[in-house]
Structure 1
């Protein structure tokens, strides 16, 4: 049995839903009516994970990144399609272990996908995942739904992923500290709880500041953030602007009507009001009343 055949055979042990058809067909067959949300994320070795990092964590993070996009659309996961570049037997085995962990943790279903061999033994791995979700409201919220007068909220806190990344790179064995970078948790429950109240919503995987600017541009408004209100990881208390721009936190950024109660403010993850939506002015993003300083990186952009 080849490495690819062995990997697919192991995937079959994870693909329990009848829609997957035992991974013997080239496509899954989904039942049900109503809208479906689709999202896709790709991760590249050396960009999205550190060299030598446990492949189990890579699999978990790939699933989490996709499910975070579904969380921002108030979705329940409906299925996952994996695009996998094969590695050696150990790499494949550890990846499968992490994939199984993530499927169980987030009640997600593996429906199929594809495998390819690397173009060269030392080629960086490129792995992709498509996630399908069923929104619990129709239409789902968009980043384009922010309007002047609404309040701006953020689940969790900024900087946990950056603190975890720096600790992992330094060789830390503190699993709790490194977990937000290695194994982030998509805010699926919060997204669903917000369905009846939320106006605009998106995740902040590329950094709070950049994603807030994207929301403002999509909605044709100005977003005013009060930096003193933004919660950050204790390790980044003296580097708040950096924590707000680094990304990889997979928290939800959302707006609510003025003075509306936030349904998740008192949940264990929590949410904090961090700003206000204003009519569109000369700048799409204001920090403490002023535009971001020239040259300040707002977040992660590919190609920069």
Structure 2
């Protein structure tokens, strides 16, 4: 048992802040699942990984065990039968030697990564059985995967190779690459519109800037005539003057610049709202 778990640990990988371990999950019929390391006391039945073993122990850093006995606050250790060795008959592992492996909703199936999501399955989506109700005649176990071929009421679905599955028995498997493809499609559409504007309509970047400049100028004139511009500037300047004279009756250094920048920002925001101008950063890498 210990040898198998160590082999599974060879699939351990790390991101920027969290160590992620890919291990077979017996509660899902042995399907591989991602676990994250958490520095806390383990509880009965949880998986743990050795991160800083004490001297003279029979196990090594990186070994994975299941907690067979935990003692809460009464003892400074948990016990695992597989960790037992000469001089450590009970398989005691001290709390400062391990991290708990907390299961995530991400599983590995057929070289793909999926997130298990609790919602109604759509036709064509993959689902995984997480809690079969044990009704006589059901021919499926935990961890069974299939594709939805039709939907029923209350989230129940008919699944290829499985049959009728109740809504509380399964989770939908959402491919994790789907989100990335959405961004790719979004960027592709952006480029198509951009090319259409430049090539088909013969509108240059300067033309677009001129259009915005004219629109902004018109809005400023409207705000000025209606008195909105005066109210905006007046409110902000009064507030800054009160703040400026708090320092012993003397204006703070850079007061003039702060007034100018603040009023400019406020006017700009209101013009942008009126024109419904929405500027977003492009996705990283574009």
The TM-score by the shorter chain falls in which range? under 0.3
Task: Give the greater-gyration-radius structure (CA).
Answer: 2
Greater relative contact order, per chain length (Cα 8 Å cut-off, separation 6+): 1
